[in-house]
Amino acid sequence: MATLTASVPLSGGLLKRRSVQKLLLLALAAAVLIPLANAQWASGSWPDALTVDLSKPLTGASDWIIDNRDSHPLFLYGFGYVSNAVVVSVRAVYLVLLAAGWAGVTAIGALVAWRVAGVRLALGTGAAFLACGLLGMWVPTMQTLALMVVAVLASVLVGVLLGLAAGLSDRMDRALRPVLDTMQVLPAYAYLLPVVLVFGMGVPAAVLATVVYAAPPMARLTALGLRGADKEVLEAVDSLGATARQRLLTARVPLARKELLLGLNQTIMMALSMAVIASVIGAAGLGDRVYQALASVDVGAALAAGIPIVLLAVVLDRVTGAAGENVGEEHGNTRRLWLYAALAAVAVAVAGRLAGRLDWPDAWTMNIAEPVNRAVDWMTAHLYSGVPYIGGTADWAGHFTTWVLNPVRSGLQWLPWWSLLLLVAALAWLIGTWRTALTAVLAMAAIGVLGVWTPALDTLSQVLAAVAVTLVLGFATGIAAARSDRFERLLRPVLDVFQTMPQFVYLIPVVALFGVGRAPAVAAAVVYALPAVVRITTQGLRQVDPAALESARSLGATPAQQLRQVQLPLARPALLLAVNQGVVLVLAVVIIGGLVGGGALGYDAVFGLAQGDLATGLVAGVGIVCLGLMLDRVTQPTERRTKSGM
């Protein structure tokens, strides 16, 4: 409500009074609590007296799990079965893919794309698969694909079941929604550690982390689709005497088809993103190649594995997206065409088999790593620094670190701990309810209690810097795109591609350009978050009531006045959403930036995984979760909460 009334000038006074009330109340509480806290514990960094050292119990737990993983019945009969089932199914899919041969897989992919999305995407799909082979990445591509197939099937199953429960039962919906909402804002990294703790490094952990990450959108959209069904259609179905089962199968599920397919699309994209990231916990495949290459700053090798990831992402997104758009337009002899497609694919696979060409022929691979590395070397030599007038990329990175990241970090770390809590409380309360503020403050305090205050503030400084850059660039581009149709048309395909790429891939070009460190991590985060911010801003501005804009124009407002006085105020909810999304996306990549020298929480998590020091990793993981929760609550307007409470 607050955000709605805020855009109406008449009720501005009311809002002002309310926000002033909130701030006064907060100041009162602070005036009582802060001297107490100050007297008890020193100000400055988070007091040691208030931290709880979890490393010992966590190490104990992790040691116990490692010791008992092969003997304790819980693992033998519980997780062991899950783990075995995952390994067996991934292996089976992988073998099937290999048995189909490269020609067979390419044919199947292209024919499915043809039936679902048309000839153009079929050609694109075929070309993408061939490119994967050409880059010498056929086997890793199949490994990633096998992992994804299993993970997506499991995610869809779990997601649909949860979605059905939430869609059909109000109580389940109320219970699940906050959980799913929160899972949505957590960085992918946070899911890795608990899974590793239980399952150890390896394929099962990778698949399960992927399922946990990719199932929520399916569940959300299934529930949304079931709940969004046209009430009158359902009433009509009832009026004809349908049983509950008939009603679900013939009306509710088909009516939700669009949402279900959108959910499938999102699940596939998130599964790909996670399957790549899961390479750090032992998933073989493309992500592993990127990870290994980045570890030795071998940009060429990273790119050779990164390109197939991007191609896979674009193809999967377009094909599943087209499936969603074409819902309800299929005609007549669909079944026969599917049959033809299946026969053709089998024929190609058999032909490949008979020709003895199952594996991608070595002679057909193209080694791009060397030329790319040469180019990178050239860039390092000529562009890194000392370019006249503009300076080099490494210079920029250095300056950004010195002039922006370092001051922000030291500023945050210099602030007394209680003042940060107060700041978080004030921001969260102004934008939301006391409940939001409480969650945010508790999350922030938990960071201190866990003893990761300093690295968390380091991460926070990177997030703040990246968000600031993202918002400036994003709003400017968004406004420009909203004002010029031509610019938007040019921008749209770029945004489409950028939004489908997994987070991991963004690290490759920034390492090539800026080397390693905190500035490249921030740059990757900006590039990753920018498309979403631009898109939301453009849409928000374009959806402003045309009548309001027209009346402003008829009164003789200049374009600048229209923008400032009509468009921006009316698009306020969209702009706030853009900020929220920007923060969430930036955090996700800043964390992953720990892999390329971003340090802080992300590094702790990776270090914990790499060294088998799960205690450190888990504490860092929980810290990441808390930071994500806090940032989301501080930037999320209450409007969304109240709506989701219905």
**Residue 254 vs 645, nearer CB to another protein:** 254
- Pick one of 251, 284, 425, 618: the residue that binds another protein (CB under 8 A): 251
For 389, the 3-state DSSP assignment is coil
Name the token pair of 522.
């921030």
Closest distance between another protein and the C-beta of residue 316, in Å?
Answer: 24
235 lies in the site for another protein, by CB under 8 A: yes
Contact between 233 and another protein by CB under 8 A: the answer reads: yes
Q: Does 250 bind another protein (CB under 8 A)?
A: yes
Residue located via tokens 């290999």: 98
SS3 at position 199: helix
* Least spacing, CB of residue 232 vs another protein, in Å: 4
- Specify the stretch interacting with another protein by CB under 8 A; choose among 64-72, 169-177, 232-240, 399-407: 232-240
CA separation, residue 182 to residues 179, 393, 428, 628 (Å): 5, 37, 16, 9
Q: State which amino acid sits at residue 355.
A: A
Window 268-307: contact mask with another protein (x via CB under 8 A)? ----------------------------------------
Q: Does 230 participate in binding another protein (rule CB under 8 A)?
A: yes
71 is an interface residue for another protein by CB under 8 A: no
Helix (H, G, I), strand (E, B) or coil at 173: helix
Q: Is 241 in the site for another protein (CB under 8 A)?
A: yes
Shortest Cβ 222–another protein spacing (Å): 17
Residue among 257, 353, 572, 640 that touches another protein (CB under 8 A): 257
Q: Does 254 bind another protein (CB under 8 A)?
A: yes
Nearer to another protein, 253 or 276 (CB): 253
How far apart are alpha carbons 606 and 613 in whole angstroms?
Answer: 10
| Residue 330 CB, nearest approach to another protein (Å) | 10
Touching another protein, residues 486-515 (CB under 8 A): none
Between 239 and 554, CB nearer to another protein:
239
Contact between 249 and another protein by CB under 8 A: the answer reads no
Selected range binding another protein among 33-41, 50-58, 240-248, 452-460, rule: CB under 8 A:
240-248
- The verdict on 388 binding another protein (CB under 8 A) reads no
Given candidates 232, 389, 555, 556, which one binds another protein under the rule CB under 8 A?
A: 232
CA gap 146, 150 in Å, rounded: 6
Contact criterion met (CB below 8 Å) for 310 and 128: no
- Single out the segment in contact with another protein by CB under 8 A; choices: 111-119, 243-251, 451-459, 567-575: 243-251
Nearer to another protein, 27 or 236 (CB): 236
The span of 51-59, 250-258, 307-315, 355-363 binding another protein (CB under 8 A) equals: 250-258
Among 53, 67, 170, 238, which residue interacts with another protein (rule: CB under 8 A)?
A: 238
Q: Judged by CB, which is closer to another protein: 250, or 551?
A: 250
Q: Does 325 bind another protein (CB under 8 A)?
A: no
Closest by CA position to 287, among listed 266, 264, 313: 313
- The window from 76-84, 233-241, 530-538, 634-642 that contacts another protein (CB under 8 A) reads 233-241
Q: What's the rounded Cα separation, in Å, for the pair 452 and 457?
A: 9
**Smaller CB distance to another protein: residue 232 or 362?**
232
- Classify residue 361 by its DSSP letter: P
Provide the minimum distance between the beta carbon of 331 and another protein in the complex, in angstroms, as a whole number.
8
Contact at 8 Å (CB) between 499 and 557?
no
Look up tokens 């490249």; give the residue.
Answer: 520
Count the Cβ atoms, other than its own, within 10 Å of residue 473: 16
Q: Which is nearer to another protein, 228 or 569 (CB)?
A: 228
Q: Do 479 and 541 meet the contact criterion of CB atoms below 8 Å apart? A: yes
Asked if 335 interacts with another protein (CB under 8 A), we say: no
Residue 242 amino acid letter:
A
- One of 40, 246, 334, 611 touching another protein (CB under 8 A): 246
CA 177 to chain centroid, in Å, comes to 18
Quickly count: other Cβ atoms within 10 Å of residue 402's Cβ: 11
Q: Which of 14, 88, 236, 347 binds another protein (CB under 8 A)?
A: 236
Instruction: Kindly state the number of chain residues that form the binding site for another protein, as judged by CB under 8 A.
Output: 20
Our CB check for another protein shows the closer of 231 and 643 to be 231
Task: State the nearest-atom distance from the C-beta of 324 to another protein, in Å.
Answer: 13
Our finding on whether 327 is near another protein (CB under 8 A) is: yes
Which of 240, 363, 560, 646: binder of another protein (CB under 8 A)?
240
Q: Of 245 and 643, which has the nearer Cβ to another protein? A: 245
Distance CA 546, CA 561 (A): 15
Contacts of 20 (CB under 8 A, 6+ apart): none
The Cα–Cα gap between 471 and 461 comes to 15
3-state secondary structure 183-206: HHHCCHHHHHHHHHHHHCCCHHHH
DSSP state of 483: H
Identified binder of another protein from the candidate list 31, 56, 71, 328, rule CB under 8 A: 328
> Which of 85, 242, 337, 480 touches another protein (CB under 8 A)?
242
CB nearer to another protein: pick between 71 and 239: 239
Contact 590, 515 (CB under 8 A): no
Asked if 4 touches another protein (CB under 8 A), the answer is no
Query: Residue 545: helix, strand or coil by DSSP?
Result: coil
DSSP 360: P
198 to 65, 79, 193, 206, 596: CA distances (angstroms):
7, 8, 9, 12, 27
Helix (H) or strand (E) holding 274: helix 257-277
CA-based Rg of the chain, rounded to a whole angstrom?
Answer: 26
Residue 68 interacting with another protein (CB under 8 A): no
Handedness of CA 605, 607, 609, 614 (dihedral sign): negative
Among the listed ranges 22-30, 85-93, 234-242, 265-273, the one in contact with another protein (CB under 8 A) is 234-242
CA distance linking residue 486 with residue 496, whole number of Å: 16
What span, in angstroms and rounded, lies between the C-alpha atoms of 572 and 578? Answer: 10
Binding segment toward another protein, per CB under 8 A, in 27-35, 195-203, 251-259, 563-571 = 251-259
Cα 163 from Cα 294, distance rounded (Å): 38
Can residue 255 be called a binding residue for another protein (CB under 8 A)? Answer: yes
554 in contact with another protein (CB under 8 A): no
Q: Residue 639, SS3?
A: helix
Candidate segments 19-27, 162-170, 231-239, 427-435, binder of another protein by CB under 8 A = 231-239
Q: Please state at what angle helix 203-227 crosses helix 192-199, rounded to 10 degrees.
A: 130
243 contacts another protein (rule: CB under 8 A): yes
Q: Which residues bind another protein (CB under 8 A)?
A: 230, 232-233, 235-243, 246, 250-251, 254-255, 257, 327-328
